[in-house]
Amino acid sequence: MISTEPAIDPQSGQIAIGVILTECVDVQQSAVFILDPQPDGYTAYRAQLPGPRPLPDAFSSYGFSSIFALQYWDGNLLVRHGSADGSEAMIIFTPGESPAGVYAGCVQLQAGEGGGGCPRSGMPQPYPSRD
């Protein structure tokens, strides 16, 4: 399942969209793209989910499972995702230098056989300054 509703940040006008990258039986690998409004259209950014190794560039990310919901709350992007084993997690991205934001953490909502949906490693970045 993928969120059919994009999330719109009322403060910035940015749009978060969940996209299925691969699907096989009950297993999905998904991504979240952020569309940042520009005077002549939009620029796309990918929300970066950390993992066991550092990401090589700004366009890389470890995959989300099935995305259930996207929501902006006070400028923070909340991504609820889960897998076929019943695990669910809420991933939080805070505003950062890039419109894609900065990974801030994960809350396990439902444990499953595979671990729960939170990144196995990858430390949250400190909350970025808005100075």
Higher pLDDT, 124 or 110: 110
Tell me what pLDDT residue 124 has.
46
Residue ranges per structural domain of the chain = 7-110
**Helices (H) and strands (E) in the chain — how many of each?**
0, 8
pLDDT at 42 over 50: yes
| Encoded tokens for 117 | 């949906």
pLDDT at 30 over 90: no
Contacts of residue 39, Cβ cutoff 8 Å, sequence gap at least 6: none
The reply to whether the predicted model has a pTM over 0.95 is no
pLDDT in tens, 53-98: 888 887 778 878 888 899 999 999 999 988 878 888 899 999 999 9
- How buried is residue 117: exposed, middle or buried, by Cβ count under 10 Å (0-12/13-18/19+)? buried
Class of domain 7-110: mainly beta
Average pLDDT of every residue of the chain: 82
pLDDT at 100 over 60: yes
